[in-house]
Amino acid sequence: MISETAVEAARPAAQARRTASRLLAALGPLLVLLVMFVFLWITSPPFRTPTSLLLIGLEAAAIGVVAAGQTFVILTGGIDLSVEAMVSFSGVVAAILIAGTNIAGGQIAFGVPSVVAIAVALSAGLAIGMFQGTIITAFSMNPLIVTLGFRSILLGISLVATRGAGINIQRDEFLAFITGSIDVGSLRIPMPLIIALAIYALIWVVLRHTKFGRYTYAIGGNETAARLSGINVNVVKIFIYGISGLLASVGGILVMGRLVSGAYQNGTNMTLISVAAVVIGGTALTGGVGGIWGTLIGVFIIRIVEAGLVYLNVPSNAKEIVIGAIIVLAVMLDVIRRGEVKWLRFRRRPAL
Amino acid sequence: MRAITKRFPGVLALSNVNFDVRRGEVHALVGENGAGKSTLMKIVAGVYTRDEGEMFFKGQPAAFTNPRQAQNAGITTIYQELNLIPQLSITENIFLGSEIQRGALLNWPRMHEQARALLAKLHLDVDPRRLVGTLGVAQQQMVEVAKALHHKSDLIIMDEPTSALSVREIEDLFDIIRELKASGVSIVYISHHLEENFVISDRITVLRDGMHVATRPTSALNIDTLIRLMVGRDLSEKFPKENIARGAEVLRVENLNQGSRLRDINFSVHAGEVLGIAGLVGAGRTELVRALFGADMIDSGKFFIDGREVIIRSPRDAIRHGLGLLTEDRKQQGLFLKLTMRENITMAVLKALTRGPFTSRTKETALAARFIDAIAIKTAGQNQLVMNLSGGNQQKVVLSKWLATEPRVLIFDEPTRGIDVGAKVEIYRLINALARQGVAIIMVSSELPEVLGMSDRIMVMSGGRVTGFLSRDEATEEKIMEYATAADKTFAPAVSQESAVL
C-alpha cells in the first residue's frame, strides 16, 4: 500500500513516532509501578519501612522466577498452565527427599542433603517440562490443553504423595543459605531475591545475545518462516517448555524453603499471576514481541498491589477480585496498545 | 467521486482523486502496487473513510462509515481473498446477515430456492446445500457474485478476481460480467493482468502514487501506453533476460511421489540455468518445491546434488545441501515482520555469526550491510522492522536471507507476486546476476509472460505430473497451455493448504 517515495519522505517522522511508541510501551509499566509506589509511600507509613520493602522483594522472588519461565513460553506464542502445579510438585519432591518420608507416611531416619534433593527436584522439573514440549511438538497439540492436563497430573501426584498434608522439613545449611539473606550495610537483602535477579540477568543475555533467544522471537513471530529458515523449531520449543518447567521448579524450591514445607497448595494461583505479569510487562500473548524486564516489572506491580491492599486495610479475601480485574485490564491494554481494537484506535493525524 | 483525499500515518495515500462509474459499465482501475487502487475502493465500500472530497452514489451524496452501509446501498466488493465461510453451505453464505425467517425459525426451503435461482443465473450447477469449502476457487467466486446479486448490488467491485483462476474459468467469469453489465450492473475491475482489462473493460482509469493520471475509453489505449501511464516512464525491458552458458547439473530429482499430489516427477537443473515451472492452480507446482525443500513429507523419490544422492527430510537438510526457497506467500511463510531487517537477513545463518555462545552483533551487522548494499534494499537502516518495508523490499530481504546461505539451488515461488512493475525488473536482474554466478534457479510462476520471459527451460505440470518440457526457443503461451491442460482428464482433486505439514 505504501509507495516507496512516500516511505522515503515520511521516514524521519515515522521513525521518531515509532521510537516514541516503543519507549512508551517499554516505560508504561514502569511508570505504573512508580506511581503505585509513590502513592503507597505517601499514604501508608508502614509501607515506608525497609522491612516491608524487602518483604515485597522476597515475595516477588519465587513468582518472579516462575514468570520468567512463562515469558519464554509466551514469547514463542505458547502458554504453560502447568507452572503452579510444578511449583507444588518440585517442593513436594524435595521435601519428601529431605524429610525421608515414605509414601506410607512413616518417617525414615535418613533423608538426603537438601542440595541433592533440590537437584533431583529441578531435574524432574526440567524433564517434565521437556516432556510436555515433546508432546506439544510431536503431535502438534495445543499447549493450552497439554499443560492444563499436566497441571492436573502434577497436582494429583503432589496430593497423593503428601496425602493432602504438607511435608514439613528441617532447614539444613544449604537450604538456610538459599532462603536466608545477606547483609549489605544495614539492609538484609533476601537471598531468593538475589537468585531471582541473577536468573533475570541470565535470561536477558540468552534472549538478546544468543541464537536460542533469537529463535525464540522468530518462532513466536512466524513459526512457518522459522521452520523454512532451517531452524529446528521443535527442539527449540522442547527446550522452551523445559526451561519453564525448570524455572517453575526453582520457584517451587524457594517457596518450599521459605515455608519449610512441601505441600500441594504451594503453587496456588501462580499460573494466573505469572501470565498476568508477563502480559502486564508488555509481552504479547500472540508471541514474538516482548522482553524479560517487563515481566519483572509486571511481577512487582502485582506484588505492590497486593501489599497495597493490605496496607489500605482491604480484607484479604477481596484480594482475588482486584488481581482478577488487573489481569483483565492488562490484557485489554495490551490489545489496545497494539491497535487491534478498531473503535479505540487513536485518530492518527497526518504527519506531512 | 470528486477530489478524494486519504491520508495514512506518514503517507498521502490518495490526493485529489476523481473517479466515476456509469451505469452498466465495466471500469478498470489500474496502477502499480501502492498507487491507491485498493484504498480508493475501500473508501467506496465503507472500509475506510475519506479525509477530503465528495462521493455520490446514484446521484445522492454518500458517506459510508462501514461496509454494511455500503452493501445496503448496493455496493459489494469481491476481494482477492474471498470473504466466505468455508464451513457453511452456499445458501448460508449468500444469506449471511439477511436470513429469511418464518417466525423465529429460519425458512430453509425459501432460502435454498432463492439460492438455487441465483446460482442458475450464474450458470453454476451445484446444490446450494453444499459446503463452500468443497468448491473450487472459481466456483467460490461465483458464490460471491451470487451474494452480490442477492443484495441487489448496482456496483460490484472486483479486486483481482482472476488471480487464482485458470484461463477457462476466466472466460466464464468474463461471460458473467458481460451479463451483469447487460442487466445494468456497474463493475469496477481491478487486475494486475493488464491484458484482461483490455478484454473486459469499457474505460480504464490509471492511478499513480495516489494521484489520478488518466481516464480513457479502453479502445483509445494500448498496452504500452497503459504501462507508460502506470509507471510514468518507459519500461525499456520488462524481462531483462541474459543468456548465460549452462553449467554442470546441480540438482536432479528422480521419481518423486507424494500421494495424489505429485506423481513420478523427474527433472534436473543446471548451474546458471533458470528452470521455469508453469501450470494451472492445483497442478502441484508449489507442492513440488515444498517437497523438494523438505517442508512436506514425500512417499518416495531421490534427490541428487552434483550427482551425489542426498537425503532431504526437513528444510534444515535442504539448506545444508545448498537449497533455498522463497515462498509464494512472503508474509505468512518467509518473513519475521516484527523483527528487524538485520535479524531477518541473518536468520538462516545465525550459527556462523557467533562469538563463543553469543551472537556477534558486529558480524551480523557486516553481513546485513553487505546484502542491503549488494541488492539495493531501500531502508532507513538495519534496525527497521520488516513490516514497514514495501513488498519489493520485503522480497529482497527474503532473498538476502537465502543469499547469506550461499545456495547452490534457489527456488522462487511466484517471485514477483504483489510487487510493483518497477521492482519486478529489479528482481529479474537479481535472478540474472545469480544465474551468472552459477546458481541453479527454479522459478514457479503463474504469470506466463514471466515464465516465458525469464526461463531457459520450462517444465509444465498438470494434475501432479510433469506433462512436458519446453526450451526457451520453442515455448509459447499456447504450447504451455496445451501441456498445462494435458492431464485434465486424470485431474487429481486439488488439495488444500491445510493438509500440508507446515
What digits encode the pLDDT tens for the residues B179-214? Answer: 888 988 899 998 877 888 888 999 999 988 778 888
Q: Where are the alpha helices (DSSP H) in B293-390?
A: 315-320, 341-346, 361-374
For residue B460, give the 3-state DSSP assignment.
Answer: strand
Tell me the chain B residues in contact with residue A351 when contact means C-beta distances shorter than 8 Å.
9-10
DSSP string, A50-100: HHHHHHHHHHHHHHHHHHHHHHHHHHTT---TTHHHHHHHHHHHHHHHHHT
Q: Which of residues 404-463 of B touch A (CB under 8 A)?
A: 405
The radius of gyration of chain B's CA atoms, rounded to the nearest angstrom, is 24
Looking at chain B, which residue has its C-alpha nearest residue A1?
Answer: B34
Higher-confidence residue of B13 and B436: namely B436
Same domain for B50 and B19, yes or no, is: yes
Domain residues for B471?
248-322+407-421+436-495
For the beta carbon of residue B114, count every other beta carbon within 10 angstroms.
Answer: 18
Same domain for B47 and B182, yes or no, is: yes
Q: Do B7 and A352 count as a contact with CB atoms less than 8 A apart?
A: yes
Span B380-385, average pLDDT: 84
Higher-confidence residue of A350 and B375: namely B375
- Indicate whether this model's pTM tops 0.80: no
Classify residue B239: in a domain, yes or no.
no
- Asked whether residue B168 carries a pLDDT value surpassing 90, the answer given is no
Same domain for B92 and B24, yes or no, is: yes
The DSSP H or E segment spanning A114 is helix A114-138
Classify residue B303: in a domain, yes or no.
yes
Establish how many alpha carbons lie within 13 A of residue B17's alpha carbon, considering only the half-sphere containing its beta carbon.
32
Classify residue B375: in a domain, yes or no.
no
Same domain for B224 and B253, yes or no, is: no
Q: Do B333 and A228 count as a contact with CB atoms less than 8 A apart?
A: yes
Q: What are A14-73's pLDDT values in tens digits?
A: 666 666 666 666 677 888 888 888 888 888 888 888 888 888 888 899 999 999 999 999
Classify residue B295: in a domain, yes or no.
yes
Domain ranges of chain A: 54-300
- Can you name the CATH fold of A54-300? ABC transporter involved in vitamin B12 uptake, BtuC (1.10.3470)
Phi (first) and psi of residue B255, to 5 degrees: 50, 50
Q: Which of residues 375-404 of B touch A (CB under 8 A)?
A: 378, 380, 385, 388-390, 392-393, 401
- Asked whether residue B47 carries a pLDDT value surpassing 70, the answer given is yes
Classify residue B128: in a domain, yes or no.
yes
Among B121, B115, B119, B73, CA closest to B94: B115
Tell me the chain A residues in contact with residue B34 when contact means C-beta distances shorter than 8 Å.
1-4, 6
Tell me the chain A residues in contact with residue B347 when contact means C-beta distances shorter than 8 Å.
214, 218, 226, 229, 231
Rounded-to-5 percentages of helix, strand, coil across chain A? 75, 5, 25
User: What CATH number is associated with residue B267?
Assistant: 3.40.50.300
| C-alpha distances out from residue B257 to B204, B260, B276, B297, Å | 46, 8, 20, 10
Same domain for B41 and B128, yes or no, is: yes
Establish how many alpha carbons lie within 13 A of residue B333's alpha carbon, considering only the half-sphere containing its beta carbon.
17
Q: Which of A4, A209, A211 is nearest residue B390 as measured by Cβ atoms?
A: A4
DSSP 8-class letter at A264: T
pLDDT for A4: 40
Phi (first) and psi of residue A275, to 5 degrees: -65, -40
Same domain for B26 and B81, yes or no, is: yes
pLDDT for B222: 85
Contacts 24+ apart (CB under 8 A), B347-352: B347/A214, B347/A218, B347/A226, B347/A229, B347/A231, B347/B401, B348/A229, B348/A230, B348/B319, B348/B401, B348/B402, B348/B404, B348/B405, B349/B404, B349/B405, B350/A211, B350/A214, B350/A215, B351/A211
DSSP 8-class letter at A288: S
Length of chain A: 352
For the beta carbon of residue B219, count every other beta carbon within 10 angstroms.
Answer: 10
Q: Are A81 and A147 in contact (CB under 8 A)?
A: yes
Number of domains in chain B: 2
Cell 448460508 identifies what position? B92
ipTM: 0.79
Q: Do A214 and B350 count as a contact with CB atoms less than 8 A apart?
A: yes
Classify residue B35: in a domain, yes or no.
yes
Same domain for B186 and B304, yes or no, is: no
Distance CA B484, CA B491 (A): 11
Same domain for B85 and B225, yes or no, is: yes
Classify residue B255: in a domain, yes or no.
yes
pLDDT for A8: 40
Q: What tens-digit pLDDT sequence spans chain A (352 residues)?
A: 334 434 444 455 666 666 666 666 667 788 888 888 888 888 888 888 888 888 888 889 999 999 999 999 999 999 999 999 999 999 999 998 888 655 455 555 457 888 999 999 999 999 999 999 999 999 999 999 999 999 999 999 999 988 888 888 888 888 889 888 888 877 788 999 999 999 999 999 999 999 999 999 999 999 999 999 999 999 999 999 999 999 999 999 999 999 999 999 999 989 999 999 998 888 888 888 889 999 999 999 998 888 888 888 888 778 888 878 887 887 787 777 766 666 665 544 433 3
Same domain for B128 and B20, yes or no, is: yes
Q: Which of residues 169-228 of B touch A (CB under 8 A)?
A: 209-210
Cell of A270: 501462580
| C-alpha distances out from residue A186 to A50, A193, B186, Å | 10, 17, 83
Q: Do A17 and B9 count as a contact with CB atoms less than 8 A apart?
A: yes
Pairing of strands B52-54, B155-159: unpaired
Same domain for B258 and B149, yes or no, is: no
> E strands of B280-408, at which residues?
300-305, 308-310, 323-326, 354-355, 358-359
Cell 533467544 identifies what position? A213
Q: Tell me how close the Cα of B454 comes to any Cα of chain A, in angstroms.
A: 25
Same domain for B12 and B85, yes or no, is: yes
The model's confidence at residue B33, banded by pLDDT at 50, 70 and 90, is low
Classify residue B73: in a domain, yes or no.
yes
The model's confidence at residue B80, banded by pLDDT at 50, 70 and 90, is low
Q: What are A237-249's pLDDT values in tens digits?
A: 999 999 999 999 9
Tell me the chain A residues in contact with residue B354 when contact means C-beta distances shorter than 8 Å.
211
Same domain for B227 and B262, yes or no, is: no
